A and B are shown apart, each in its own frame.
Chain A
Amino acid sequence: MIRAKYLPLMTTLVVFVLAYAICIAQFPAMWSTRVVANLLTDNAFLGIAAVGMTFVILSGGIDLSIGSVIGFTGVFLAVVIERAGIHPAVAFVLALVIATGFGGVMGAIIHYLKMPAFIVTLAGMFFARGMAFVLSTDSVPISHPFYGELQSLYFKLPGGGRLRLIGLVMLLVVLIGTIVAQRTRFGTNVYALGGNLQSAELMGVPVARTTIGIYALSGFLAGLAGIVFSLYTSAGYSLAAVGVELDAIAAVVIGGTLLTGGAGFVAGTLIGVLIQGLIQTYIVFDGSLSSWWTKIVIGLLLFAFIALQRAILWLSEHRAGALRTRPA
């Protein structure tokens, strides 16, 4: 029997498989490793950022700053590599340190000032975007040979698909994210925070450390997503990745993670990202459909999954609490 906690994940998987089957039925050309590899490559930065968002949402929080952090990282890399002449590898480390520290500071503010994550990360969103503009308002191309080397790395799939480095990085992040979520104390603590903050505190979960860790991780992954995005586009632009936080949140929810926290899987988020990518691919293949259908369909999926979560919650409350008085 499938456990109830896997139900949303299974639903997501079924939706994805069904959707892909429909796509193939209509466009047999979509049944190729090329399409799959491109799906992974094109959505690599979103996937990486969404893994960070998964941790945040699992803990019952939200992080609106990741799109801006991706944008900032891109500009920072471009400026540091092209104008200051620092080697990209060093620049990557610097970018990750900055992004991680930035997330950690937001986590600390959320915990110690006891303010909603929503508004704290909103400030972070403004700040990171603003700093990107301060560095440069123009799109700065990156032409360092190291970038070329990294971009040329790929893993040949049977059938001609090329799984590029950044797609691989995303899969790696998903894998490590899954292990961290399922098999480490930190991961258990993240679920604990999302389950019930008071209980977690009473059970000795280090709430401050975990909260700061979660947002630092989200910052780190947003930074990594920024690096991947910069490899993907070979440029840094301060208006890049606007609204990615929304795509990431959507991916997490469609991936079966409870928006109120405490339940969900990193792997589900990957499927959530792939579903979004699949819709876009379908639209490209179709040729006559317009791109805005992506947003509408994602909105519908969001609603469907939120409604599904409500229904599961309602059913379990109904089963559990005949005695319990109902909340206002």
Chain B
Amino acid sequence: MASDVVRLRVQGASKSFLGIRALDRVDFSLRAGEVHALLGENGAGKSTLIKVITGAYRRDGGEILLDGAAIDPQGVTDAQALGIGTVYQEVNLLPNLSVAENLFIGREPTRFGLTRTGEMRRRARALLGQYGLAIDVGAPLSSFSVAVQQIVAIARAVDLSGKVLILDEPTASLDAHEVDTLFEVVLQLKARGLGIVFITHFLDQVFRIADSVTVLRNGRLVGSRPVAGLERIELVSMMLGRELQDEERARSGGATPEGAAAIRFTGYGKRGSVAPFDLSVRRGEVVGMAGLLGSGRTETARLIFGIDTSDGGQAEIDGTPVTLGSPAQAIAHGFGFCPEDRKVDGIVGDLSVRENIVLALQARRGWARPLPRRAQDELAARYIEALDIRTSDAEKPIKFLSGGNQQKALLARWLATDPRFLILDEPTRGIDVGAHAEIIRLIERLCADGMSLLVISSELEELVVYASRVVVLSDRAHVAELTGEAVTPSGIMQAIAAHEKAAAA
């Protein structure tokens, strides 16, 4: 059981990127023999904290104590040597090498410079035997399930470090049975006295396995609590709510417009991605989509926008069935999609702000009907002004803009196509407070102009301001729809917590 010996203590850790505080004086302490869950939405600072601890990032301030002594690891390998091992969700091993090679790369037993394969495999079997894993260690890692790979990664990390084990979303792609296996391993390591940091977004897992929990939000520490006696709703509100007393803030939006659905999906879904769902959005309506990370929010957006194709079901626009087989097709029907990962899926970095703004419109027109340069300049100028995109000029490569301005330029890209239906995935993530407010005002204005919007957000206070209905997702399924008076942060949180609980049971 958790002792009172503090294994790892982080005090006042800070880290900024380009003036944006990714981590702001965060304290964190991990006892020996404890499983400590680290929670927070994307961009809350979890991974920054981990990278600061493992030395992958140089911290700007604060200190790290391991067994009471200050440490300053220079990188992941250094941290490993000190005793801190990390296992990532995307298993960071080499799938093309054998299990044994993965366990012992760089420290293979050798004789006369030649690897003693037999000895290495014997040791590998012995090592994995401790975790109750009896597999063919000579087979390539890729031939095993993610769960086995995960345990191999843990075995390697523990064998190399042995004091602190950081598990970064290890369960994200495991099924229930595999999670059980993994948890047995975690409990066993805990009994050995390791300090285990467990990052997840599945609340039931937190209640199942963690002894304490620390929640981060926007780079700040929200709080640390022992799990015993902690209410589920309290945890959800730590993650999503700003302040509980603030939750009944006046809603300016929220009136459900009359009329039939402009966009309707029935029985849409994809195996292994999101369970079949029905969804409709009226003209001039903002439908919000809430749920914890990994609940199927982004997957829903990908289906609707034709990036992934639905296994079945039907999509209708104004009552007419349509096929959404590719983004190009969806765009032809007047859809637009601002993805969550701006840098990878959104901006075309080397191209100018102007070119980024006209890209979707130009793609829809086809290559043979170019927008005249004057029209492009006008469009760019109009949106730079209307959305207040701060750039020295429209010809600046978009990669030199700040995150908020990149996001506004991406919005402009879609507005330029005059869409009937816009999907925004975390439109206010990672951008400064000023741009935050502007984007919310913009969403309200677009809605008033008669556009249909689907907004995915973990900022519940924002969501309830503009959304007339909120669809709640949990465990890759649409589980609830809140309308009217029920659309409040606490209502959403209760819906999430209820279903997380049901899923856990």
Contacts and interface: CB of A to CB of B under 8 A. Distances in A.
Are A and B interaction partners?
yes
Given A188-B97, A195-B97, A323-B273, A202 B92 contact: yes
A315 interface: no
B96 A203 contact: no
B323 interface: no
Nearest to A264: B96
A179 B97 CA distance: 16
Given A195-B96, A199-B93, A322-B271, A205 B106 contact: yes
Contact of B97 (A3, A183, A192): A192
B247 interface: no
Most A CB contacts (10 A, CB to CB) among B80, B114, B273 go to: B114
B139 A3 contact: yes
B308 A203 contact: no
Interface in B79-130: 80, 92-97, 101-102, 105-106, 108, 110, 113-115, 117
A307 B272 CA distance: 28
B143 A4 contact: yes
A249 B94 CA distance: 24
Contacts of B271: 322
Interface in B180-232: none
Contacts of B102: 203
B173 interface: yes
Interface string A178-201: 010011110011011011101110
A326 B309 CA distance: 11
B34 to A, nearest CB: 26
Contacts of A188: 97, 101, 105, 108, 115
Contacts of B113: 184
A263 B97 CA distance: 9
A195 B94 contact: yes
Contact of A185 (B80, B95, B108, B173): B108
B77 A204 contact: yes
Contacts of B77: 202, 204
Q: Interface SS of chain A: helix, strand, loop or mixed?
A: helix
A185 B94 contact: no
Interface in B153-168: none
B346 to A, nearest CB: 12
A204 B105 CA distance: 8
B308 A326 contact: yes
Nearest to B115: A183
Contacts of A326: 308
B413 interface: no
B95 A195 contact: yes
B97 A191 contact: yes
Nearest to A187: B115
Contact of B93 (A185, A191, A203): A203
B267 interface: no
A191 B139 contact: no
A305 B204 CA distance: 48
B140 A3 contact: yes
A199 B92 contact: yes
A213 interface: no
A325 interface: yes
B329 interface: no
A205 B77 CA distance: 10
Contacts of A203: 92-94, 102, 105-106
Nearest to A258: B96
B118 to A, nearest CB: 11
A195 B141 CA distance: 11
A324 B298 CA distance: 12
Contact of B94 (A3, A5, A196, A320): A196
7 contacts: A184-B114, A188-B97, A188-B101, A191-B94, A195-B96, A202-B92, A205-B105
Given A316-B142, A322-B272, 15 more contacts: A3-B140, A4-B143, A5-B96, A184-B115, A188-B97, A188-B101, A188-B105, A188-B108, A192-B97, A195-B97, A196-B94, A202-B76, A203-B102, A320-B142, A320-B146
**What 3 A-B pairs come out closest when comparing CB atoms?**
A322-B272, A195-B96, A262-B96
Interface of B: 76-77, 80, 92-97, 101-102, 105-106, 108, 110, 113-115, 117, 139-140, 142-143, 146, 173, 271-273, 299, 302, 308
